[in-house]
Structure 1
């Protein structure tokens, strides 16, 4: 599990995937989200501009990210 410490109120999902190095670029992040490969709090989510907040769990490629 990756623990990501949030310094703002939220981080867009695309930026979170890039910041945790699970994807190589913003374009790749958009593709994996639109293809339904990302889970947000246990449910597949297709929103690229999703605001991820403290306490949320995002999962991609069997790697969970806990946002703290």
Structure 2
């Protein structure tokens, strides 16, 4: 089951997703795991630290999946 993260505004950066969800303890650590190719977006490895992600996309890291939803979209 995916964890849902509410996106306030048009987008959120990939490094921020990892930090906000607690999967990475710092922005620097998030940058290192992204650069190492350990993070996927919609099933494809993503190496852009500040990739702009929008509601509807899914991030995978360390066996976890984060589903981005629009603000107000959580039940």
TM-score normalised by structure 1 residue count:
0.97
Structure 1: 5+ residue stretches without partners: none
Q: Shift in Å at residue 49 of structure 1?
A: 1.1
Q: Deviations over 1:22-52 (max 9, x none)?
A: 0000000000000000000000010011001
Q: Shift in Å at residue 2 of structure 1?
A: 1.0
Structure 2: 5+ residue stretches without partners: 70-75
Q: Shift in Å at residue 14 of structure 1?
A: 0.4
Counterpart in 1 of 2:46?
45
TM-score normalised by structure 2 residue count:
0.88
Asked which structure has the greater CA Rg, the reply is: 2
Q: How many residues align?
A: 68
User: In 2, distance between residues paired with 1:36 and 1:65?
Assistant: 17
